Amino acid sequence: MKVFKFGGASINSIERIQNVARIIQSFSGEKLLIIISAMGKTTNGLEKVAEAFFAGDKEMALQLFHQIKEEHVKVLAQLNPAATNILSDLFTEVEWLLHDKPLREYDYYYDQIVCCGELLSTAIVSNYLNSIAVTNSWVDVRDIFRTDDNFREAGIDWQFTEQKVQQDIVPLFENTDIVITQGFVGATDENESTTLGREGSDYTAAIFANMLNAESQTIWKDVEGVMNADPKLFPDAQFIAALSYTEVIEMAYYGAQVIHPKTIKPLQNKSIPLHVRCFLKPALPGTIIGNEPVRNLPPIIVLKSNQVLMQFNSKDFSFVEDMLVSKLHGLFVEIKIRPNLSQNGAISLYCSFDNWPEKIEKLALAASELFDVQVEKDIVLLTVRHYTDAVVAELTANKTELLSQRTRETLQVLLKDK
């Protein structure tokens, strides 16, 4: 059994969906569990629907949703003119909710609305594949993936989910070679939809791979494989043929967009190799990620922009010690915000965060009971694994360094434009 994950860009046009179908056909005779993301930028579009709904602008929410609906109906009709209205229940689920008034928290509504992107895309691809005799079963992953109700960042109930996978997914493969389902989505024990965090489909695929003891997982992307930097920012980024789990978990942790950071653990725990391959050039081998340490890697560069540097200064010149620090960490947990970098001094503590404006404001306010708080915006966090002085000099030229940290392998600097 192999687990595949196709990202949103792999199905953002009719031609690309047909291309995905060809890739799947080329594995005929193998058992495949396939996770497919929402089409193109649908998730971003659904986020706008959720925002409009929560802001009380029902008309706008319905109108934006209508556009998304039309696009999906059109794609389905083009791929399979004989298709019936297989999407209508999925549309109705969201439309019902949009007619209500928001009474609960935003994150709850976000998940109820945003989850439909993957349900729609997978329903379309599954229907199309069946119509061209690539027989497959479609599964609503909300019947399998049980989570807590930490909306937008839901935690998996591992035991329940594993039992469901054994009970409901394994037997499906007795009658079919291909099972198609969604990533990123789950449900609570009260049948509320949840999501696992943006880009969470890689993670879902890894959990399935783990629970099904898959021989491998493949993430199909629009790049040749893993590169040593984002090719959109660094045109001469280099392709890397092999990486260790450790290297990838570090890269993802520091913010490399290659793979969702939680993806590695379920694979590493069962030594399941992860392939990153290009859906545009399926003949290429891509990157293979596994247990073997890989030496002589090029410097790996990760840029995380839109950072906020917060400085927590002791109010009365007392040391910033355990008690205060643990109170501050309590606030991070409460507000659900995690520093990307932190550094202690005698009477101050520095942390950089992703700029989620409401969370930063909340944190600044709550922390001001304990500290004098300073906030600085528009900062970039540069991380270089396997750094060399030359690479660092080039990347930091003409920038002000606000703070830096280095271990033997990793250098991190907070930079601001001069």
Binding residues for ligand ASP (CB under 6 A): 7-8, 37-38, 43, 117-118, 183-184, 198-201
Q: How far is the CB of 162 from ligand ASP (least distance, A)?
A: 21
The answer to whether 332 and 338 are in contact (CB under 8 A) is: yes
Q: Rounded CA gap, 220 and 112, in Å?
A: 27
Among Mg ion, ligand ASP, none, partner that 117 touches (CB below 5 to 8 angstroms by kind): ligand ASP
Q: Rounded CA gap, 404 and 308, in Å?
A: 15
Of 200 and 261, the one with the shorter C-beta distance to ligand ASP is 200
Q: How far is CA 179 from CA 79, 144, 221, 372, in A?
A: 19, 13, 20, 55
Among Mg ion, ligand ASP, none, partner that 290 touches (CB below 5 to 8 angstroms by kind): none
Burial 36-51 (b: 16+ CB within 10 A, else e): bbbbbebbebbbbbbb
Of 111 and 199, the one with the shorter C-beta distance to ligand ASP is 199
Among ligand ASP, Mg ion, none, partner that 218 touches (CB below 5 to 8 angstroms by kind): none
Query: What 3-state class would DSSP assign to 411?
Result: strand
Among Mg ion, ligand ASP, none, partner that 266 touches (CB below 5 to 8 angstroms by kind): none
- Pair of tokens at residue 52: 């409009």
Query: What 3-state class would DSSP assign to 114?
Result: helix
Of 183 and 339, the one with the shorter C-beta distance to Mg ion is 183
Of 21 and 38, the one with the shorter C-beta distance to Mg ion is 38
Beta bridge partners of 288: 242, 275
Q: How far is the CB of 7 from Mg ion (least distance, A)?
A: 4
Q: Is 7 in the site for Mg ion (CB under 5 A)?
A: yes
Q: How far is the CB of 408 from Mg ion (least distance, A)?
A: 33
Looking only at residues 26 through 65 of this chain, which bind Mg ion when binding is defined by CB under 5 A? 37
Q: How far is the CB of 229 from ligand ASP (least distance, A)?
A: 21
Among Mg ion, ligand ASP, none, partner that 192 touches (CB below 5 to 8 angstroms by kind): none
Among Mg ion, ligand ASP, none, partner that 350 touches (CB below 5 to 8 angstroms by kind): none
**Amino acid found at 412:** Q
85's CB contacts (< 8 A; 6+ apart) are none
Q: How far is the CB of 122 from ligand ASP (least distance, A)?
A: 11
Directed axis angle between helix 88-99 and helix 116-131, to 10°?
Answer: 160
SS (H, E, C) 278-331: ECCCCCCCCEEEECCCCCCCCCEEEEEEEEEEEEEEECCCCCCCHHHHHHHHHH
Of 220 and 353, the one with the shorter C-beta distance to ligand ASP is 220
373's CB contacts (< 8 A; 6+ apart) are 310, 311, 312, 313, 364, 367
Q: How far is the CB of 132 from Mg ion (least distance, A)?
A: 25
Q: How far is the CB of 194 from ligand ASP (least distance, A)?
A: 13
Q: Is 200 in the site for Mg ion (CB under 5 A)?
A: no
Among ligand ASP, Mg ion, none, partner that 184 touches (CB below 5 to 8 angstroms by kind): ligand ASP
Using CB under 5 A as the binding criterion, the count of chain residues that bind Mg ion stands at 3
Ramachandran region, residue 259 (left: φ > 0; alpha: ψ -120 to 50; beta: rest): beta
Q: Which residues bind Mg ion (CB under 5 A)?
A: 7-8, 37
